[in-house]
C-alpha cells in the first residue's frame, strides 16, 4: 500500500517509524517531512492547503491512504476533499474536527449529551463575559474559542486577571480565535491525556500519557508545545480507562454520529481526574506531540492496519495491543524556545544515542546542511527510551540525551518527576 503522511514534526517521524514496520506498506511519502522521515520514505514538497494539488499528487502517485498528522489541515477540510475524490484518509472531516477547532462546539456537545466537563458560559460580547466572571468570581478559566496553538487559555487566579483576559481576547489578541470566548470553572486534580481510535461508529482505547508543558524544571516558566512525556500514565488505571470510555469517549463518538459528523481518526482527550470522577478539559482531533513518541513504541499491533481500519470504517474489536513497558521522551529544544529559537547550530552524536539499547531518537526541527545536521526550529529532537519501569526509562532516556553533542540545545532534566516521586 502506498501511503502519504502529512506533517513535519517528531510526531510524524514516530508515525513513519511505525508505518514502515508494516509488511503491507510498499511506499511512504511524507509532506513535507524532516531529515528523520527522509530515511524512511520520500519527503515531498506539497502545499496541502491547496486541496486540488493534494488530490492531484495522490492520483499521480497512486496513493491509497493519507494519514494527517497536524490539526490545521483537518480543520481546513483536507479529509473532506480527499474523501470526495475517493482517496481514503485517516483523520476527521472538517465538521468532526470541530471537536478540536471550536471549544464552544465541544462544550455545547457535552452539555447536550451529558458528557462530564467543567461548567461553562460562552460569549461573543465583552460586557456579558465580564458580568459572568463577576458573578462567578475567581479562580476561573478564560479561553479563546478557536485554534490558538495552545496559548489561548488563561487560568485567572483573581477577578482582575479574568477581566484583563476578557479585554485582551475581545481586543483581538488571538485574532479570530478570540472572537468568541469560553469561560469555565477551574477543575482540580491530575491531568491525563487519553487517546482512542475511532472508525466513526466504534471507539477503542489506544493509550494514556502525561506530558510536561512548562519549559523549566519543576514545571515552571512559560508553556510550550510539550517538553517531554511518558506512557502509560500511572494514575490511569484500567478501571479509570473503562469509566472514561463509558462516560466520555463512547458518548462523544455516538453523539458525533448522531449529529451526522462521524468522527474517524484519533480522539485525544485532555482529562482532569477530579475527586468526583474524570472530566473532559478539551479534545484534540489528532495524535499528540510528543505523546505519539511515547505511545507508538509501546504498540504491538500493526499501525498501518489500525489506521486503515479507522479510515475504512471497520475497526476490529481487539485491534489494539500494547506492551506493558513504559516509555519516556525528553524533548531537546534550541536555545530561545519557546521564544525565538536559535537556528543553524550543529547537532552531533545522534547515532551514538540510537545505538544505546531501547532508545529511539526522532527528529522535529532539524535540517540537513550538506553533511551536517543543524537545528531549524524550537523543539528539535525527541529522545525516547523504553523500560520495565518509569524510573528506568527516565535513566535510559537521559543517558541517551547525554550522548548527543549539541551545546546550543537544552532540555528539562526532570521529565516524569511527579509520577516517579509518587511510586
Ligand atoms: P486547553 O487548551 O483547553 O487544553 O487548555 C490548556 C491547559 O489549560 C490544559 O492542559 C489544562 O492544564 C489547563 N486548563 C484548561 N481548562 C481548564 C479547566 N477548566 N480547569 C483547570 N485547568 C484547565
Ligand atoms: N502535546 C500537546 C499536543 O499535542 O497538543
| Residue 100 in contact with ligand 2 by CB distance below 6 A | no
422 pLDDT band (50/70/90 cuts)?
Answer: confident
| Residue 282 in contact with ligand 2 by CB distance below 6 A | no
Ligand index nearest the alpha carbon of residue 155: 1
Please give the distance, rounded to the nearest whole angstrom, from the Cα atom of residue 324 to the centre of ligand 1: 29
- d(Cα 29, Cα 6) in Å, to the nearest integer? 8
Where do we find the cell 459528523? 261
> Cell numbers at residue 80, please?
473532506
Please give the distance, rounded to the nearest whole angstrom, from the Cα atom of residue 55 to the centre of ligand 1: 36
Q: Are 364 and 9 in contact (CB under 8 A)?
A: yes
Question: Would you kindly state where each structural domain of the chain is located, as residue ranges?
Answer: 2-93, 125-179, 190-312, 326-422
423 pLDDT band (50/70/90 cuts)?
Answer: low
CATH code at 125-179? 3.30.1490.20
Q: Which of the four CATH numbers 3.40.1190.10, 3.30.930.10, 3.30.470.20, 3.40.50.10260 does domain 190-312 have? A: 3.30.470.20
Where do we find the cell 524550537? 378
Of all residues in the chain, what percent carry a pLDDT higher than 70? 98
176 pLDDT band (50/70/90 cuts)?
Answer: confident
- d(Cα 266, Cα 275) in Å, to the nearest integer? 27
Which pLDDT value is given to residue 310?
97
Atom of ligand 1 nearest to the CA of 270: 4
145 pLDDT band (50/70/90 cuts)?
Answer: confident
Average the pLDDT over 241-256 and give the result.
98
CATH code at 326-422? 3.90.600.10
Half-sphere exposure of 360 (CA within 13 A, CB side): 25
| Residue 191 in contact with ligand 1 by CB distance below 6 A | yes
Which pLDDT value is given to residue 178?
63
Note the CATH architecture for domain 2-93.
3-Layer(aba) Sandwich (3.40)
Q: Are 269 and 286 in contact (CB under 8 A)?
A: no
Ligand index nearest the alpha carbon of residue 294: 2
| Residue 319 in contact with ligand 1 by CB distance below 6 A | no
**Equal CATH topology for 125-179 and 190-312:** no
| Nearest CA owner, ligand 2 atom 4 | 288
DSSP labels for 257-303? HHTT---EEEEEEEEEEETTEEEEEEEESS--TTHHHHHGGGB-S-H
Which pLDDT value is given to residue 305?
97
Please give the distance, rounded to the nearest whole angstrom, from the Cα atom of residue 233 to the centre of ligand 1: 18
146 pLDDT band (50/70/90 cuts)?
Answer: confident
Q: Are 197 and 310 in contact (CB under 8 A)?
A: yes
Amino acid at each position: 500500500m502506498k501511503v502519504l503522511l502529512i506533517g513535519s514534526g517528531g510526531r510524524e517521524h514516530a508515525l513513519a517509524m511505525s508505518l514502515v514496520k508494516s509488511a503491507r506498506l510498499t511506499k511512504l511519502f511524507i509532506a513535507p517531512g524532516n531529515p528523520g522521515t527522509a530515511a524512511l520514505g520520500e519527503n515531498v514538497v506539497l502545499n496541502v492547503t491547496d486541496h486540488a494539488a493534494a488530490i492531484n499528487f495522490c492520483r499521480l502517485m497512486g496513493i491509497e491512504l493519507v494519514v494527517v498528522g497536524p490539526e490545521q489541515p483537518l480543520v481546513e477540510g483536507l479529509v473532506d476533499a480527499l474523501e470526495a475524490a475517493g482517496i481514503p484518509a485517516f483523520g476527521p472531516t472538517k465538521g468532526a474536527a470541530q471537536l478540536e477547532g471550536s471549544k464552544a462546539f465541544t462544550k455545547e456537545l457535552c452539555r447536550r449529551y451529558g458528557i462530564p466537563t467543567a461548567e461553562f458560559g460562552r460569549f461573543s460580547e465583552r460586557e456579558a463575559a465580564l458580568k459572568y466572571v463577576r458573578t462567578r468570581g475567581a479562580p476561573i478559566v478564560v479561553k479563546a474559542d478557536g485554534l490558538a496553538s495552545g496559548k489561548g487559555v488563561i487560568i485567572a487566579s483573581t477577578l482582575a486577571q479574568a477581566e484583563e483576559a476578557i479585554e485582551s481576547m475581545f481586543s483581538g489578541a488571538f485574532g479570530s480565535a478570540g472572537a468568541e470566548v469560553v469561560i469555565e470553572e477551574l477543575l482540580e486534580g491530575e491531568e491525563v491525556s487519553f487517546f482512542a481510535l475511532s472508525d466513526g461508529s466504534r471507539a477503542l482505547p489506544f493509550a494514556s500519557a502525561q506530558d510536561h508543558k512548562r519549559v523549566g524544571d519543576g514545571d515552571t516558566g512559560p508553556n510550550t508545545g510539550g517538553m517531554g512525556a511518558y506512557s502509560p500514565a500511572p494514575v490511569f488505571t484500567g478501571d479509570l480507562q473503562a469509566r472514561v470510555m463509558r462516560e466520555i469517549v463512547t458518548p462523544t463518538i455516538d453523539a458525533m454520529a448522531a449529529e451526522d459528523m462521524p468522527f474517524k481518526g484519533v480522539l485525544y482527550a485532555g482529562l482532569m481526574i477530579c475527586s468526583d470522577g474524570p472530566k473532559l478539559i478539551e479534545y484534540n482531533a489528532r495524535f499528540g506531540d510528543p505523546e505519539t513518541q511515547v505511545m507508538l513504541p509501546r504498540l504491538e499491533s500493526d499501525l498501518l492496519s489500525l489506521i486503515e481500519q479507522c479510515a475504512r470504517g471497520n475497526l476490529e474489536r481487539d485491534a489494539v495491543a500494547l506492551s506493558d513497558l513504559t516509555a519516556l521522551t525528553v524533548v531537546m529544544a534550541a536555545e530561545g524556545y519557546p521564544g525565538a529559537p536559535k537556528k543553524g547550530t550543529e547537532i552531533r552524536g545522534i547515532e551514538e544515542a540510537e545505538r544505546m539499547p531501547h532508545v529511539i531518537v526522532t527528529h522535529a526541527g532539524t535540517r540537513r546542511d550538506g553533511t551536517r545536521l543543524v537545528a531549524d526550529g524550537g523543539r528539535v529532537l525527541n529522545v525516547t527510551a523504553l523500560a520495565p519501569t518509569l524510573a528506568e526509562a527516565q535513566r535510559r532516556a537521559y543517558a541517551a540525551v547525554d550522548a548527543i553533542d549539541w551545546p546550543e540545545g537544552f532540555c528539562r532534566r526532570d521529565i516524569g518527576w511527579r509520577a516517579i516521586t509518587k511510586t
